[in-house]
Structure 1
């Protein structure tokens, strides 16, 4: 098998070839490693590697049918504890942090059959919607336009999937960090329901319940199978999603009735590019052509600026906790050499917070969840733009910004449809359904809490459309196989 043949197949198809012994885990790993080295030179998507160790694990791997058994895989450099690879969380402060034992999710990825061979790049402490960490030695570039962002914080993962280095990669989402890069890179990215995918055993929640883990893929069925394999209640966890499994098996099941789909395009007066609105319009028309009911709605009254301030509080508190834990033995604060200006200012904000400040921020996030529930009352799904603009130019939202609050408000202008869903805990996915000026433009489907099945089933229906197929492209940069 050559690279072109490898990337023409999704994870499910490659897993079938592995189960039939038509290819071996070692053969696929060699292809993935070679592709990673080639594309990384142009995009800077890889943080840490363990090519030799991965090849050894591939040689020893026993293929099991029905999983992703023997498939090359990337872990996000997000701090997810894995004994396979160190992590930096995109920061010099946390350089080469190692784990003595695996997180529950890392074990589930391994049990699913994935073989991790590298970490994908992230912005510092996963705090930005674009992947431009100083620690990475330069930005992670969009594979369709190197002057633009790949998105963040799962930027490296999205680039790898978009280029065909791997069909499935780990991602996480605390304010859009799966959906932003999925939109920027023209792939599929699902943020699961809060509590669907385990976060333990070393922590109970991320960012006050905003954050969750998942995957980025090129096909809907790859995400559905991955969710089947990694989802499930973790004993002792503070959150649990409603029961839900067999997501892959449900993809082709006909809908019992037409879905009621609400379309929301005006995020409290913030500007949205015409290309993003056109992507939603085309998708809404397609949904109607498929027999579903589509209704235009207006957003509920909501103080979006106050919501972003609440996120600033929660993120700043977590920066301070993480940095102080790392430096506890030295009894000092981080330096300018260890944290970028925006993140260092976030540390300083966090150090000044009071307990009432944090409690009020959590209350605001919970109120946001109730607002989203009211918006979706009576509807199966909510259709929105993923982002408010095309992939931004590199340097547009820089962590060199010395004011963390201003930095996060600028990020919020790009992502008004995203972080509200993290606050509510609902499932949501970015679908690659449009192109403008050669750049991917995603649309977002938001489901009711616990209803990934409807998001995935409608996404699978849309995936068969000419609209989706026309938007699906491979990057041209050094991509010959």
Structure 2
């Protein structure tokens, strides 16, 4: 029987190979995932809606399929529709919603061999860079420093992967929500191009086109393989990014036909401060890239009006909150929102009710302007290298929703300065965990690619992974 420590140290592809060769039974892996989840990950408050009995039953009867055979998996509590797992989106407003259908992405995960046995914790409505929702009964803690945040909104997913509950977990990203927890927890996390991964069938876009689904992993090849299983056009989708012919995973093995030209950003928009450790992480990565033969040049960011973008981002989020809350009120007009929403989102609801159609349209136009600015900027570069966050993983309570919405989001914007603009541009971007402080805290760097160019981004990430391996950097505090 496979031991928990053996399970923890392997990535998804390695475990899938064992399943396909019949060297290990799917139920053994599920038992290990639940064992680790019930221990370390539960102590860090990373999981919710775990259905142990059903998971064991499904795994016991599983016939290997897809790339991953019958691999334990976790869906983010983001509302991604699942017939088997409820979702609250981190809010008391919803409790435990049930869906009569699987989302297109959920179906693709199943077809590729993932068995979802629970969900991972999120902040309320997935609108924070830290996971501290009242609905979760307390904060989700960083396994590398329990006084700090695991990030958000895919904070529980970050903990689940970094503690070895699962090698791959679902995440979503509307303003950095895959890349933030990847940076905080020392993982690889790629936000795909807009329209590459399906969002339907219940919706065509989220947050004005900002949101994208993906995964958090410990290896680049796991992310590449996961993309192979889920990308592709969805009938009726409003957006479509080009996927490469063939396989992202196979593409990792192909050499670049020339050195890449990489722009390095050491400063943030409008004078926002960046911590010395975050700048050091960029410099370290730049040296690695240069040693791999690529050309890295110091460059200034494009002249994006960041303050205007923050306002536009806030307006779209507030409009989304109002739409969502009003949808609930139509069926539950008796709800007292003061007991259902945290203060910042209660304020966002009030703001959303006052926004004009013109304000919303101008916000979307601002996003489109940034998309053009970034693509024009990147005509001269293959990749952009930035810090992922402007500061080290935030101490718990730093980004509290116990304030008004705009104050809350302005503070978030100063922490995630390099992230949400790439949601506006729709480009792919990945956190790469190559740098750690002397105290053992991960410090992420971000690689940004041209629209639809996930393949190149994955390949240069794999080069960095080989030059500065991080797979052995996972939380080992679980005791069987």
How far 1:189 sits from its partner (Å)? 0.2
Matched, 1:195 2:204: no
Aligned to 2:24: 23
Flag structure 2 segments of 5+ consecutive residues without an equivalent: none
Q: 1:228 to 1:410 in 2, by over 3 A?
A: same
**Secondary structure at 1:209's aligned position in 2?**
coil
Q: Distance in 1 between matches of 2:210 and 2:298?
A: 27
Q: Distance in 2 between matches of 1:406 and 1:243?
A: 39
How far 1:48 sits from its partner (Å)? 1.0
Contact 1:93–1:334 (CA<8 Å) still a contact in 2?
no
Q: Distance in 2 between matches of 1:137 and 1:332?
A: 24
Contact 1:323–1:333 (CA<8 Å) still a contact in 2?
no
Aligned to 2:46: 45
Aligned to 1:416: 417
Aligned to 2:432: 431
How far 1:192 sits from its partner (Å)? 0.4
Q: 1:472 to 1:186 in 2, by over 3 A?
A: farther
Q: Map 1:149-188 onto structure 2 (within 5 A).
A: 149-188=149-188
Q: Distance in 2 between matches of 1:287 and 1:230?
A: 29
1:129-148 CA distance string (max 9 Å, x none): 00000110000000011100
Contact 1:323–1:334 (CA<8 Å) still a contact in 2?
no
**Secondary structure at 1:432's aligned position in 2?**
strand
1:22-72 CA distance string (max 9 Å, x none): 1011000000001000013320001211111111111221113x5111100
Contact 1:122–1:133 (CA<8 Å) still a contact in 2?
yes
Q: Distance in 2 between matches of 1:41 and 1:30?
A: 15
Q: 1:272 aligns with which of 254, 264, 274?
A: 274
Contact 1:324–1:333 (CA<8 Å) still a contact in 2?
no
Q: Map 1:211-230 onto structure 2 (within 5 A).
A: 211-230=211-230
Aligned Cα RMSD in Å?
A: 1.2
Q: Map 1:230-379 onto structure 2 (within 5 A).
A: 230-244=230-244, 245-268=246-269, 269-331=271-333, 334-379=336-381
Q: Distance in 2 between matches of 1:355 and 1:41?
A: 44
How far 1:302 sits from its partner (Å)? 2.3
Flag structure 1 segments of 5+ consecutive residues without an equivalent: none
**Secondary structure at 1:443's aligned position in 2?**
strand
State TM-score, norm by structure 1: 0.97
Q: 1:383 aligns with which of 385, 389, 414?
A: 385
Contact 2:231–2:243 (CA<8 Å) still a contact in 1?
no
Q: Distance in 2 between matches of 1:450 and 1:106?
A: 22
Contact 1:386–1:415 (CA<8 Å) still a contact in 2?
yes
Q: Distance in 2 between matches of 1:253 and 1:41?
A: 40
Matched, 1:103 2:111: no
Aligned to 1:67: 67
1:323-344 CA distance string (max 9 Å, x none): 1111212336651110000011
Q: Distance in 2 between matches of 1:228 and 1:451?
A: 14
Contact 1:195–1:239 (CA<8 Å) still a contact in 2?
yes
Aligned to 1:4: 5
**Secondary structure at 2:189's aligned position in 1?**
strand
Contact 1:432–1:468 (CA<8 Å) still a contact in 2?
no
Contact 1:432–1:472 (CA<8 Å) still a contact in 2?
no
Query: Segments of 4+ in structure 1 off by > 6 A?
Result: none
Contact 1:334–1:344 (CA<8 Å) still a contact in 2?
no
**Secondary structure at 2:201's aligned position in 1?**
coil
